[in-house]
Amino acid sequence: MRYIISFLLTSLATTATAEAPRVVTDIPPVHALVAQVMGDVGQPGLLLTKGASEHDFQLRPSQAQALSEADLVVWIGPELTPWLARAMEGLGTKTQLALLDAPETATRPFSPDGAHMEEGPDDHADHADHADHGHEGTDPHAWLDPDNARLWLPLIAAELSRLDPDNAATYAANAKTAEGRIVALDSRLRATLAPHAAKPVVVYHDAYGYFAAHFGLHIFGSVALGDATAPGAAKLAAIRDALATGQATCLFPEAQHDPALLAGLAEGTPLRIGPPLDPVGSTLAAGPDAYDALLTGLAKSITDCLTR
């Protein structure tokens, strides 16, 4: 009898998983939020593989199939992953939740040109071939503001409930629990970062505006206009002149980019080199804890450098 009961429970669990909505997500922080809302009902898929670039990614056949079979795609939007927009158009994906377009989302533009420490006249030509990685309009890195992540949770729950009304109460409860988790995370990180608000830092590219605005950090400037482009010679010379003034405290490389460029820029200046930042969580293990790990990691990397 014990084995029969065990078999029945296993069968029921398998059936429940099979009936869960098939959800596909774009990047680790979005995957983490969806995973928290789904809980034990099912597991979302994640397209961006570990170590890959969110801006320029080639789908494997298995990923394209998962995308074509998805009941729901939850993603930031074409501003971040233009390749996903093209894939969904080609596959005829109909049900999607573009978080950047949600009315609840607080968006911001990229930093003005002045924050990039004097773009050189030759730099426009350097970026001409990167239309998908333009640096105008809305900054898509909105997940780095915990307020946005918190507001997205009920939107995700609502979409899942529409597809799976039998589990609507579970999705709503999970979203509420996840909201509380983000509030607690926000409080911890504010306490961690507050003593460093007045210390200017330099980042590799302009991806941290939401994080800095939310936690009151001072970004002195960024080296590259985008993470898919490298600065030209005139820009590098202007950056070195700006860094030599000693106004900034730390210079942060970025995951997936060679830190040698930034090390060369910092040579002969009072700047300290911090650990590489990873705004999209491309180096993290995927799962429901990845959102907390992403923001906590950014805060730790910044404070570790500023307190040396």
Backbone φ, ψ for residue 218 (5° rounding): -115, 105
Cα–Cα–Cα angle for 170, 171, 176, rounded to 5 degrees: 100
Instruction: Provide the pLDDT for residue 118.
Output: 44
- Indicate the SS3 state at residue 33: helix
For the chain, residues classed under CATH 3.40.50.1980 are 21-187, 196-306
d(CA 98, CA 121): 36
**Cα distances (Å, whole numbers) of residue 243 to 145, 233, 238:** 28, 15, 9
Q: In the CATH hierarchy, which fold is given to the domain comprising 196-306?
A: Rossmann fold (3.40.50)
Q: In the CATH hierarchy, which fold is given to the domain comprising 21-187?
A: Rossmann fold (3.40.50)
Per-residue pLDDT tens for 127-163? 333 334 445 689 999 999 999 999 999 999 999 999 9
Kindly give the parts of the chain with pLDDT less than 70: 1-18, 112-136, 225-231
d(CA 62, CA 166): 29
Instruction: Provide the pLDDT for residue 268.
Output: 79
Instruction: Provide the pLDDT for residue 228.
Output: 56
